[in-house]
Structure 1
Amino acid sequence: MFIISLTYTRELSEVEAQMAAHIEYLDHYYAAGVFVASGRKVPRTGGVILAVAESLEAVEQIVAQDPFCIHQLAEAEIIEFTASRTSPELTALLP
């Protein structure tokens, strides 16, 4: 499992200009079963995506397709972890 932490590097108005494309990107990977949760950081300095994928390399390729990254509006940090415990609703995410 992976945590993708996006941190905006440009003005929020520039980020907003790519929001529709970013949402299409999210929708695509939700439909593919890769993204399982996402949302804005508080305060709004970026966002977080929880992803399930086979490898770090696969996630790196997916992140490279994010319009925020393509247009250099955000930097992405990818954190890999193995869930050892979840709430009952998320047990399908356990290895």
Structure 2
Amino acid sequence: MYVVLVTYTAPLTEIDYALPDHVEWVAKQYDHNHLLASGRRDVHLGEVLIVRPMSRLKLDAMLAADPLALAHLAHYEVTEFAATRTCPELRMLNEAIPH
């Protein structure tokens, strides 16, 4: 599983222009069952994506297709972790529990 910190690297006017395409990209990631949660972090600083377990190569390809990445408007910091304790709603992602 991954936590991805998206940090905007361009003026907000450029970010705002690209956001509709980015929002569509995020929706597609939910449609493909890749994302568990997403949202803005601090006002206009960037976003947080919580991504289901997948190969790092697949994640990198997914992030590279984000319109913010394609337009060089954001930086992505990826932290991988193994969920070993979760709330009941995320039990299927708990890597310490055999499934």
TM-score range, shorter chain: over 0.9
Matched, 1:93 2:90: no
Q: Which has the higher helix share?
A: 2
Kindly name which structure, 1 or 2, has the bigger radius of gyration based on alpha carbons: 2
Separation in structure 1 between the aligned mates of residue 89 and residue 53 of structure 2, nearest angstrom: 19
Greater shift in the superposed pair: 49-58 or 62-71: 49-58
State the shift of 1:93 in Å.
1.6
Where does residue 3 of structure 1 map in the other structure? Answer: 3
Assess if the C-alpha contact under 8 Å between 1:53 and 1:59 holds in 2: no
Cα displacement (A) at 1:43: 3.4
1:19 lines up with 2:19 in the alignment: yes
Distance 2:13 2:92 in 1: 38
Cα deviation per residue 1:9-37 (whole Å; 9 max; x = unaligned)? 00111101011100110111101110110
Q: TM-score, normalised by structure 1?
A: 0.94
The runs of 5 or more residues in structure 2 that have no matched partner are none
Q: Is the 8 A contact 1:63 1:69 kept in 2?
A: yes
TM-score, normalising length from structure 2?
Answer: 0.91
Aligned-pair Cα RMSD in Å? 1.0
Distance in 1, Cα, partners of 2:11 & 2:48: 18
| Structure 2 equivalent of residue 63 of structure 1 | 63
Q: CA deviation at 1:88?
A: 1.1
Quote the residue 1:29 is aligned against.
29
The Cα offsets for residues 11-69 of structure 1, whole Å up to 9 and x where unpaired, read as 11110101110011011110111011000011321001000132111100000001111
